[in-house]
Amino acid sequence: MWFSLDTIVARAKRRGFAYPGSDIYGGLANARDLWPYGVEIKRNIENNRRQYFIQEREDIIWLDSQILMNPKVWEASGHVWGFSDPLVDCKKCQNRERADQLIEDYISQMKDKYKTIANKLHDITKNLFKEMDNLEENMNSTFSAIEYYENIGNWDFAKDFFTQEKEEIDKNLKTHKNKLEQAKEYIIILEGIKEWWIDEFIIRFIRWWVKINITNLNVWSRTFDQQFAFLQKFKIKCPKCWSVARTEPKKFNLMFKTQQGIIEGEGTDIYLRPETAQGIFVNFKNILDTTRSRIPFGIWQIGKSFRNEITPGNFMFRVREFYQMEIEYFVENNEEIGLKAFEEWKALSKKRWIEEMGIRENKLKFRDHDKDELSFYSKWTCDVEYEFPWGRGELQGIAYRTDYDLKQHMEHSGKDMQYNDPYTGKRYVPHVIEPSRGLTRAILTAMIDAYDEEIYTDGNGNEASRVVARFHKNIAPIKFAIMPLVKKDEKMVAIARDIYKKLSKKYMCEFDDSGNIGKSYRRQDEIGTPYCITVDHQSIEDGTVTIRERDSMKQERVKPEDIIF
């Protein structure tokens, strides 16, 4: 089922996952504060990854570098001159937009239009098939009746009736055949209008109409001139005032600048880091010298990054302050080895999205960049995209960045970034694979992917509905909810408290003594709690409790000490 972003946002606010930041002052453009359940999801994602990468693997270490770094870092990395988006201003209302995003939105509307046509054709074909099935069923039952009467030698008796029936069938057969022909035609058209066909059609249309030689629809790699030509030719309107008059795209640096120093105007300009990766590169040499790391090995860090996005939006998808989880995995300076490692990281990333996060596989897309979309230093890049309610968006970038970053820092800092291979004696600047994930986007994705609404039959046989967050057990913010059936029954409350005390030493639990079990179940379903434990009258007698599983809603009687997660 498909749920709108508004539905997800409403649940996030209602149940305490995330909320607009500085809300009592009217908020701050798309800033989001994580609330208790959101914080728990974040912590769970971090812990799962820490366990997998740091605890269970020997070849990755972690780091917590500073948000504020020497400004030379950003000169070396190319961010000072190159980390920018194409900005356009509406000439009528002065609204600022990203040219590439306006184009992206327009292309996705084009795709939707063609998809709607394809879906309509699909429905028509499905109805035709249904009609044909019905006809076939009628004919089959008449033919078997004829056979039956012929067999029992009672044909005369039914002759008149079946002659009429046979004529009817003959007539239907004609219509049947016509419809079949029609259906075949639709199927041929339908086959043609698959997604690749729609893309190809749009690419050719743009080439012809805008006169730019494109081979794919990834607009961010286009030049500013091409983007401007696209906006003009398709007369793309300002989303605020519908005017089509706008300035040509200009570079807008996304880095947040601030000042270090106590006297205003006399401090040094520094930047809030726009990514966590550079903190890893600048520590590379020191880490090599102080740890026993041997290539191949990786350095991982989680932390806040800041980008002065022109158009933040879609709740927590594009914000100006967000968490990233980046790994730089250093390998030998050999392209064959690098590409192999790149493919391995792609496969591992897929596994981790599905197994660690429980994200539905059919919602994920691993999109390799075309050659003309690659950054000049990148040998290969793949974006991991998710089918969000508003369209596809990037969750992670995996890039084979060769030795670009280390060489840049070597040149700008004058420090030797080479690795001495103790076995072969070779000395080289390693190549790097960078799987870079947004943690804030991962939290949002988990919330969207898990959300479900369900109609079910309750214990009394009545139809009921519930909202349920089907979080992977790893991700669920609360693992157990413990509830005494009767709020005022001291014995029940004492047993429940005891279970809570024990389980909460290991797991995040909630104690719910509202005394309304039905309501509590619904609340916990909406939070996504995998197990609810209820203490009732029988618990006082034999020490057993009921445990209810979130997805199946099945209940079982167990001893508290037998509960495992």
- 313 vs 199: CA distance, rounded Å: 26
The smaller minimum CB distance to ligand ATP, of residues 256 and 511, is found at 256
- 543 vs 121: CA distance, rounded Å: 61
Best CA proximity match to 295, nearest among 257, 242, 324, 331: 331
Q: Are 387 and 374 in contact (CB under 8 A)?
A: no
For ligand ATP, which stretch binds (CB under 6 A), given 23-31, 255-263, 316-324, 499-507? 316-324
Strands 60-62 and 545-549: unpaired
- 275 vs 324: CA distance, rounded Å: 7
Interacting residue with ligand ATP among 303, 438, 484, 530 (CB under 6 A): 438
* 303 touches ligand ATP (CB under 6 A): no
Size of the site for ligand ATP (CB under 6 A): 16
* 440 touches ligand ATP (CB under 6 A): yes
* 307 touches ligand ATP (CB under 6 A): yes
- 331 vs 403: CA distance, rounded Å: 10
Tally of CB atoms within 10 A around 431: 26
Tally of CB atoms within 10 A around 108: 14
- 478 vs 439: CA distance, rounded Å: 19
Between the alpha carbon of residue 14 and those of residues 35, 55, 315, 526, the distances in Å are 11, 36, 15, 10
Written as six digits, the tokens of 172 are 């239907």
Amino acid at 9: V
Interacting residue with ligand ATP among 198, 395, 496, 509 (CB under 6 A): 395
The minimum distance between CB 366 and ligand ATP, in angstroms, equals 13
The smaller minimum CB distance to ligand ATP, of residues 390 and 511, is found at 390
For ligand ATP, which stretch binds (CB under 6 A), given 228-236, 390-398, 529-537, 545-553? 390-398
The minimum distance between CB 525 and ligand ATP, in angstroms, equals 28
Q: Is 124 exposed, middle or buried (0-12, 13-18, 19+ CB in 10 A)?
A: middle
The smaller minimum CB distance to ligand ATP, of residues 201 and 224, is found at 224
The minimum distance between CB 451 and ligand ATP, in angstroms, equals 19
Provide CB contacts within 8 A for 472, sequence distance 6+.
356, 357, 358, 446, 450
The minimum distance between CB 357 and ligand ATP, in angstroms, equals 13
The smaller minimum CB distance to ligand ATP, of residues 435 and 560, is found at 435
The smaller minimum CB distance to ligand ATP, of residues 309 and 373, is found at 309
> DSSP class of residue 355?
I
* 318 touches ligand ATP (CB under 6 A): yes
Interacting residue with ligand ATP among 397, 470, 497, 544 (CB under 6 A): 397
Provide CB contacts within 8 A for 29, sequence distance 6+.
312, 320
For ligand ATP, which stretch binds (CB under 6 A), given 286-294, 433-441, 497-505, 515-523? 433-441
Long-range contacts of 188-197 (CB under 8 A, 24+ apart): 189/121, 190/118, 190/121, 190/122, 190/125, 193/114, 193/117, 193/118, 193/121, 194/118, 195/111, 195/115
The smaller minimum CB distance to ligand ATP, of residues 177 and 250, is found at 250
The smaller minimum CB distance to ligand ATP, of residues 88 and 527, is found at 88
For tokens 């709020």, the residue is 487
- Contact set for ligand ATP, span 321-380 (CB under 6 A): 322, 324
For ligand ATP, which stretch binds (CB under 6 A), given 6-14, 260-268, 438-446, 449-457? 438-446
The minimum distance between CB 243 and ligand ATP, in angstroms, equals 26
Between the alpha carbon of residue 121 and those of residues 183, 198, 201, 207, 212, the distances in Å are 10, 15, 18, 27, 32
For ligand ATP, which stretch binds (CB under 6 A), given 292-300, 410-418, 431-439, 530-538? 431-439
Using CB positions, name the residue nearest to ligand ATP: 438
Residue 86: alpha-carbon gap to chain centroid: 25
- 197 vs 203: CA distance, rounded Å: 10
- Contact set for ligand ATP, span 253-272 (CB under 6 A): none
The minimum distance between CB 295 and ligand ATP, in angstroms, equals 24
Amino acid at 539: S
The minimum distance between CB 430 and ligand ATP, in angstroms, equals 21
Written as six digits, the tokens of 332 are 């030998």
Interacting residue with ligand ATP among 77, 436, 445, 520 (CB under 6 A): 436
Interacting residue with ligand ATP among 276, 301, 333, 396 (CB under 6 A): 396
The smaller minimum CB distance to ligand ATP, of residues 95 and 218, is found at 218
The minimum distance between CB 326 and ligand ATP, in angstroms, equals 7
Q: One symbol per residue from 216 to 255: x for binding ligand ATP (CB under 6 A), - otherwise; what is it?
A: ----------------------------------------
Best CA proximity match to 35, nearest among 11, 56, 58, 51: 11
The smaller minimum CB distance to ligand ATP, of residues 436 and 524, is found at 436
The smaller minimum CB distance to ligand ATP, of residues 307 and 472, is found at 307
* 87 touches ligand ATP (CB under 6 A): no
The smaller minimum CB distance to ligand ATP, of residues 125 and 396, is found at 396
The smaller minimum CB distance to ligand ATP, of residues 327 and 483, is found at 327
Provide CB contacts within 8 A for 70, sequence distance 6+.
270
Q: Are 333 and 433 in contact (CB under 8 A)?
A: no
Q: Which residues bind ligand ATP (CB under 6 A)?
A: 275, 307, 309, 318-319, 322, 324, 394-397, 436-438, 440-441
